Amino acid sequence: MSTIRSLELSDRPTIKVFLQRHPPEISELTFSNLFLWRNSRSIYFAEVDDSIVFVADTDKDGAKQKVVFGQPVGEASPLAVASSLDVQVAGFVRIAEQTAALLREADLHVETDRDNSDYVYRTADLAELSGRRFHKKRNLVKQCLAAYSCKYEPIRPELIDECSEMQDRWCRARECGRDPGLCSEYAAIRQTFTHYQDLELIGGAIRIDETIQAYAIGEELSPGTAVCHFEKAMPGFRGLGQLVNQWFAKFALSEFEFVNREQDLGVPGLRQAKESYHPHHMVHKFNAWFPFASPHITSLAEPKQCDKDDVL
């Protein structure tokens, strides 16, 4: 039996080797993503048959079960992995289409997880905003540049405190302390700035006059594809969100052909925004459940309650 254990920063070199050998397709399978969200989404891992498998806790309506999170990173089959762990797993979540097909053939109940499917864009499309379909985006960028003195800066160690301070201002404006989802994100972003250098992340910020007012952070997902984990722009600056999106693609991600900008979580406004940038393709995700599992348990996090003194 393979024993699962909690993910720690010291595990990064080991896990990075597996991810380099078997580049992931889904946005969640980077060490950074797994590590940064660990305080609101418990993540464990184990080595099974020269593969790494991640395990998460689920919690819905008081039903608590463990699930395999993403497909195994390596050559081990999903079913072999599930039977080799020292805990019972109810199924698999956030798995790609090929893994879902294998589990469907094994008579697991497979369902599409549209809300967590990833949007993947051509980097050149985001950086250039060429053609009629991006006309509105270009206009918003032009309005921003005409109204404000904007300067792009790579996020270096000396910018971390300023970016963190901007995130606090953004959270006060959005009242993060009243929204469990934004609280969980806030905790993950604080971890991002704390471990920015440890995780070798890619970041860019926009300074308006003397103050950082927008930033974006990502990393390599697989050869030729980057993933953008966080992107924030202070409200009150028309077109700033479109500008940080464009400049991050242009100045930080130009070596990548594609950018995975993660999921829309089923939020109507977020879905509309992501679709408006015309993705090149989607990475569809699925969940698969063993017959004994409570159906439709897809909540992986107990939303974190922020310390309101920190964010309000």
166 found inside a domain:
no
Q: Any idea how long the chain is?
A: 312
Rg (Cα) of the chain, in Å, rounded?
Answer: 20
- The secondary structure of 185-247 as a DSSP string is HHHHHHHHHHTTTTTT-EEEEEEETTEEEEEEEEEEEETTEEEEEEEEE-TTSTTHHHHHHHH
Would residue 227 count as lying in a domain? yes
How much is the average pLDDT of 129-140? 98
Please write the tens of the pLDDT for every residue from 173-200.
Answer: 999 999 998 999 999 999 999 999 999 9
Do residues 35 and 133 both lie within one domain?
Answer: no
Mean pLDDT of 234-256: 98
Q: In 86-175, which residue ranges form alpha helices assigned H by DSSP?
A: 97-105, 123-128, 135-147, 160-174
Read off the pLDDT of each residue in 63-88 and give the average, rounded to a whole number. Answer: 93
Are residue 291 and residue 274 in the same domain, yes or no? Answer: no
Instruction: For residue 299, tell me if it sits in a domain.
Output: yes
CA dihedral 178, 266, 62, 88 (to 10 degrees): -130
Distances (CA, A) of 275 to 258, 261, 271: 16, 11, 6
Torsion sign (Cα): 226, 229, 233, 238: positive
Query: What is the count of structural domains for the chain?
Result: 2
Residues 10 and 109 in one domain: yes
Examine the pLDDT at 34 and tell me if it is beyond 90: yes
The answer to whether position 170 is within a domain reads no
Taking 70 as the threshold, does the pLDDT of residue 220 lie above it?
yes
Say yes or no: 80 and 128 in one domain.
Answer: no
Judge contact between 225 and 127, C-beta under 8 A: no
pTM beyond 0.85? yes
Q: 130 and 240: one domain? A: yes
Model pLDDT, residue 228:
98
Residue 308 has pLDDT above 50, yes or no: no
Q: Which of 111, 87, 92 is nearest to 29 (CA)?
A: 92
Range 126-135, long-range pairs (CB < 8 A, 24+ positions): 126/245, 126/246, 126/249, 126/250, 126/259, 126/277, 127/246, 127/249, 127/250, 127/253, 127/254, 128/250, 129/246, 133/278, 134/278
In a domain, 162, yes or no: no
Q: Both ends of the chain: CA-CA distance in Å? A: 47
Q: Which of 22-36, 123-137, 213-227, 287-301 has the lowest mean pLDDT?
A: 287-301
Residues 123 and 81 in one domain: no
Give me the domain span that covers residue 124: 118-155+201-283
Are 69 and 142 within one domain? Answer: no
Question: Are residues 83 and 46 both part of a single domain?
Answer: yes
Residues 127 and 269 placed together within one structural domain of the fold: yes
* Mean pLDDT confidence for 144-153: 98
